Amino acid sequence: MTDIGRLGVWTFQLGMASEPEQRDAVAELESIGYGAIWVPTFGAFDIVPKLLAAGTTICAATGIASIYQYDAPTIVRNVRSLDASYPDRFLLGLGVSHPEAVNRDGSGRYTKPIAAMAAFLDDLGPEVAERAVLAALRSRMLTLARDRTVGAHPYFIPVEHTARARDILGPDKLLVPEQAVVLETDPDAARTLARGHMALYLQLQNYRNNLRWLGWSEDDLTPPGSDALVDAIVAWGDADAIRARIQKHHDNGADHVCIQVLREDQRAVPLEEWRAIASTS
């Protein structure tokens, strides 16, 4: 199994950075102890080789590659190519995306997500399927992740989800939650940034259904989200507060936590925040 360590970053900024910026950032992430870089689905297989080439030990992962964006032969071809060039440094994150995104063209392609993912894993074959993690939120997808893959990569979740996911996955599967963070101690400023991040996700039924499953009310979920929900989804405060939230995920059963830094300038590579959070993690 690919060793991704206990702490990683989830970032789209590196995909927009110049190659010199990518090289410098990856070298620094590696030097300060991050084990993996997670990148979103769009252009993932163009970005990942560049990130891996910039380091020597740090891993890269897709967070996630949508089964509606990539077909199985494309995934298999890319995984084999990455394995050949960078052995044991790539982890495949797969997901079914969201009906609001997949069906917005009127195609109606998004139906029965469990069946669709199971069929896609069949098409991948065991060589690739058994080394993937699934963007699993609720019981049935978590069970599929347990039975067919190496584990789960939940996104947009509070720490209580990590404990529930661990119970379903069992002790031996990889559990790698994403955690959004804001390095800001002023509550109003922090929650404003957090709500900007959460606005889209609170419109997506998969995330809303997952939060209902965890016991959050309709009042909590009504945009822009209650303060309690904002504070549960986005960790904010100083670096110690962020590290405390990361530790809660580990205490609840996470093997690895990937942090997504939120800031006013979302295009800039957040090296300062990555340094601060890693300094004593």
pLDDT in tens, 101-115: 667 777 778 789 999
Q: How does DSSP assign 177-196, residue by residue?
A: -EEEEEE---HHHHHHHHHH
pLDDT of residue 217: 98
Q: What is the mean pLDDT of residues 34-54?
A: 94
Domains of the chain are: 7-278 (3.20.20.30)
pLDDT of residue 97: 81
User: pLDDT tens digits for 224-259?
Assistant: 999 999 999 999 999 999 999 999 999 999 999 999
pTM above the 0.85 mark? yes
User: pLDDT tens digits for 138-160?
Assistant: 999 999 999 999 999 999 999 99
- What are the φ and ψ backbone dihedral angles of 8, each rounded to 5 degrees? -140, 180
Beta-carbon contacts of residue 99 (< 8 Å; ≥ 6 apart): 110, 205, 206
User: Has residue 281 got a pLDDT over 60?
Assistant: no
User: pLDDT tens digits for 56-97?
Assistant: 999 999 999 999 999 999 999 999 999 999 999 999 999 998
Q: Where are the beta strands (DSSP E) in the chain?
A: 7-10, 36-39, 59-62, 65-66, 90-95, 132-134, 151-152, 174-175, 178-183, 234-237, 257-261
Structure tokens at 127: 């060589």
Q: Using 50, 70 and 90 to split pLDDT, how confident is the model at 280?
A: low
